[in-house]
Structure 1
């Protein structure tokens, strides 16, 4: 008796579909659920602990070096704002570490298949993606605030003229808020890359290229082309140049490109985060999970 032969090699795989008209979990419930996932993810804790610890170590090292320089140069008059800015150097490492967390926060669900369970609980994909982004932003906001506070305390206790109470100074507080904002936007940039690429390695590599490699390449091109206008334009909108101009305009002035106003740099950083988020959301809503 002949049995029907199934050609499994050419069989069309079943796609995962969820009725987006179903109510599912509320937005508040989705945010709580996504935040709980971050709490349960060991990578979240490791990256956050490393971020805070490394930031504290760097702040202490900067303060000790600053104090030593002051002792060796008694006629040098330091400024509290300058010391406070240097004490936050660890925030640059926080950007790449928490940016990587932003990538992992979404790509781990694809690698484990948990995204299907998430979509079953929250069928409306835009709502699910918004909940994930909000939970990540909340986590990043807390970790970055702790980093900034610890860095300020260590720097102010070790070196002068910065004092612990200077955290209430309008100029210094404004710089801290700008630093906090850049780390938060970088985490969302990483999240957008993760949604768009659906690959942890790919998202983290692209994030590293945006933050480090691109600046080096453009600086080389600027020298090779004798300061061509198009390279200068790219340098002005390059991610880390925008960060420097947004946090510390004096640091931004060191770039070969003309400096930007902080509000202009802030808009540029928003665009850097918004583009991959928008493209990722478009792919997330239109392509199968």
Structure 2
């Protein structure tokens, strides 16, 4: 009977009392509960994912613009930006939004924001254009610089991966509301091969250096290629043990995955092993980081020592 009760509790964390004090305080001001917040967000992500798939079907017909940093921008990015930012701003908790597609005027006062949404309306635009299926929609809630809630939607899988730090993580199927499945990261068990995530776009020499660092500590290391923020989901699902990132990316690429992995029992740290802070610096480029399924292993020390 006790085992059954524990399983029921795990499967229903999103319907129970919110244990995240920072989020609890924020929601109280908007007279919202964790359950109503998640229900609202899942409905939004259902709509956003459906729109993303509509654009995806005609991806080869979309106009592609090169932004100042040479990353691509399509109609899909813009449409999803307007949908998601408009909805988030209208919510009862009334927080500002920092999006990859925000203009400078919209985020001019961002350093004064105690809490905000950080979003990437379409993470993996290159994957989207090339029709690899590995693009995501990332939404994170940041309070006092820390990612406390994260959602990574994978439109081609019709799934929303959700985590609230201190409460848990779960996978929700599109259109099913709060009917989800709890997930938790897995500990590394030697002498199994360690699985490291990378992207086929990452520089070969950089990836080889990372794998060499891990090989010295773990012996056999396998590489798993994955795109966009799907890599964070792979850490949570048990498909991979670690995702180190030393190449440039932005805070909206990381924040949702950070909250998801930590909520599921893993860790995400900078190269010194510290928790990552968001919207705290002049630059919106993310620091090098390591996302790991097993928080008991100091991957940051192993990977970055002497670098």
Which of the five TM-score ranges fits, normalised by the shorter chain?
Answer: 0.3 to 0.5
TM-score between both structures, scaled by the size of structure 1: 0.34
Which has the higher relative contact order, 1 or 2, with Cα contacts under 8 A spaced 6 or more apart?
1
Q: Specify which structure has the higher proportion of helix.
A: 1
Q: Specify which structure has the higher proportion of strand.
A: 2
